[in-house]
Structure 1
């Protein structure tokens, strides 16, 4: 289940009312920064833009492929762990504007996650550590750690093996 906060609107649809929710200047600044990052060939520069100019949490050595589109209006609601790859032309949304309401939700993508190309991640989802999301998927619900999921609608394809030293470590913690 996605975790989003709902905000009802009256009058025209919520997208027509966008600048009652978000400053025009924030939208313009974010758009320019995101477009620069989408085409930037340098991963450290991209991560600097995401962290410093857009307020996203991006872990060490995470990589955004060419043309990744992060949420223009609420990028600060996106949190990505370490050593994660976001595939070519993927989209990460933290908002959705509907006819009678808009919704906002934090997006949490764990560490060591692989997101395939052309994937859309919707607001309010969590993708656990070491998960793999197949190309072209729509992530509309949480994905547990060590899970391979794909499709539209998203389905769990299989559970992934945990390294033996990690499972041994968790057994020692329980004991």
Structure 2
């Protein structure tokens, strides 16, 4: 189960009430720095922009590929460990606006995690250290450390122990 905080709304759907939940100027500023980061070819500059202006936590030697889309409303709720890779055009959400409520949740991505291209990571999930997320995966629940997951909806393809066993079998 994802770890999100739920907030009920009255009247129209929650997205129509967005600026009651997050200031317009914050969203505008975040949008500018995310767009700069999405297109910059420099990993160091991108990480600096995101850490400095969006208050994201990004570990040393972590690489966010071209076109990665961090949450524009609550990027400070995204935490990525060291030496991880987030693949091309992946979206990392820390919010979801629904009809009768909106939800917020931290996204915790561990150390040495590999996330393939075109993934969507939903709010409130944790991706454990050393996990591998296949391209085009919808990450809708926690990923155990060292696991290999993929698909839509996401499922565990190999656990850490199964991957270790496969490595042992390959050895002469």
| Alignment check: 8 A CA contact 1:146 1:162 kept | no
Range with bigger deviation, 153-162 or 11-20: 153-162
Partner SS state of residue 33, structure 1: helix
Alignment of 1:102-121 (within 5 A): 102-121=102-121
TM-score of the pair, normalised by structure 2: 0.93
Distance in 2, Cα, partners of 1:107 & 1:52: 18
Partner SS state of residue 145, structure 1: coil
Q: Give the deviation of 1:161 after TM superposition.
A: 5.4
Alignment of 1:1-175 (within 5 A): 1-160=1-160
Distance in 2, Cα, partners of 1:13 & 1:57: 31
Q: Give the deviation of 1:159 after TM superposition.
A: 1.8
Stretches of structure 1 that go unaligned for 5 or more consecutive residues are 165-175
CA spacing shift, 1:135–1:163, aligned 2, 3 Å: closer
Distance in 2, Cα, partners of 1:49 & 1:120: 22
Partner SS state of residue 11, structure 1: coil
TM-score of the pair, normalised by structure 1: 0.91
Q: Give the deviation of 1:160 after TM superposition.
A: 3.3
Greater than 6 Å deviation, 4+ residue runs: none
Distance in 2, Cα, partners of 1:70 & 1:45: 15
Q: CA offsets, 1:29-79, max 9 Å, x none?
A: 000000000000000000001100000000000000000000000000000
Partner SS state of residue 99, structure 2: coil
